Amino acid sequence: MTPLHLTADRAGERVDQFLARTLPELTRSAAQRLLERGAVTLRGRAAKKNDKTRLGDSLTVCLPEP
């Protein structure tokens, strides 16, 4: 798995929505599954699907190999 480092460009957006919008290969439900597995970190901790982004937040996503 290669980690992706993303920066939030909107404040107040749910993390699952941000991932689905930013990564076109992910549906929102696929983003939620990644969050449930702990494959996404936000502000240094595992993110939850209903966490809200802050402008400039750094997210790290570990996508599974295709």
Average pLDDT over residues 20-28: 93
Residue 66's pLDDT is 75
pTM: 0.90
Reported as a single tens digit per residue, the pLDDT across 25-36 is 999 999 999 999
Instruction: Give the Cα separation of 42 and 52 in Å (integer).
Output: 10
At 35, phi and psi to the nearest 5? -65, -40
